[in-house]
């Protein structure tokens, strides 16, 4: 008897957990970049270099984006803490 159902659950839970955390964290990073000038993207793509100071001067992130970004990171941190809780046997 191979535990097919355990394997199925394993797969689905891992998928949701991993993809969820990665997506939330990535969303946080994306939100941090809201308001950043388009040139920044061109620069990281290997395009024309833009002076670093010039970039940060024109970089103004709206408050909602900051808030949402921090919320995303908080979720990621919570996931890590839950992971530590699962790893350490003394907790359960």
Partner 1 sequence: MDALAIVILVVVLGLVFDFTNGFHDTANAMATSVATGALRPRVAVLISAVLNLVGAFLSTEVASTVSSGIVKEGSGGIEITPVMIFAGLVGAIMWNLATWYLGLPSSSTHALFGGLIGAAIIGSGWNAVDWFNVLSKIALPALFAPVVAGVVAMVATYAAYMITKRATSRGAERGFRYGQTVSASLVSLAHGTNDAQKTMGVITLTFVAAGYQRSGTGPQFWVILACALAIAAGTYSGGWRIMRTVGKRITEVTPPQGFAAETSSAATILVSSHLGFPLSTTQVTTGAIVGSGLGKRLASVRWGTFGRMALAWLVTVPAAALVAALATLIVKTGAVGTVIVVVAAVAGMVAFWMLSRRHPVSHETVNVDEDVLASRRPEPVRAGESK
| Interaction between residue 17 and partner 1 (CB under 8 A) | yes
| Interaction between residue 62 and partner 1 (CB under 8 A) | no
Q: Evaluate whether 31 touches 70 at the Cβ level (below 8 Å).
A: no
Judged by CB under 8 A, the residue of 36, 50, 68, 75 near partner 1 is 36
| Interaction between residue 51 and partner 1 (CB under 8 A) | no
Say which DSSP state 36 is in.
Answer: -
Separation between Cα atoms, residue 77 and residue 24, nearest integer Å: 11
| Interaction between residue 63 and partner 1 (CB under 8 A) | no
Say which DSSP state 35 is in.
Answer: T
Q: Evaluate whether 37 touches 15 at the Cβ level (below 8 Å).
A: no
Site residues, partner 1 (CB under 8 A) = 1-3, 6-7, 9-11, 13-15, 17-19, 21-23, 25-30, 32-33, 36, 40-41, 44-45, 55, 59, 76, 80, 83-84, 86-90
């Amino acid at each position: 008897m191979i535990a097919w159902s355990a394997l199925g659950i394993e797969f689905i839970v891992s998928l949701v957990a991993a993809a969820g955390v990665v997506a939330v964290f990535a969303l946080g990073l994306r939100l941090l970049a809201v308001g950043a000038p388009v040139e920044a993207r061109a620069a990281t793509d290997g395009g024309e270099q833009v002076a670093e100071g010039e970039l940060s001067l024109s970089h103004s992130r709206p408050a909602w984006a900051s808030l949402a970004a921090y919320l995303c990171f908080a979720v990621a941190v919570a996931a890590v803490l839950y992971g530590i809780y699962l790893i350490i046997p003394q907790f359960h």
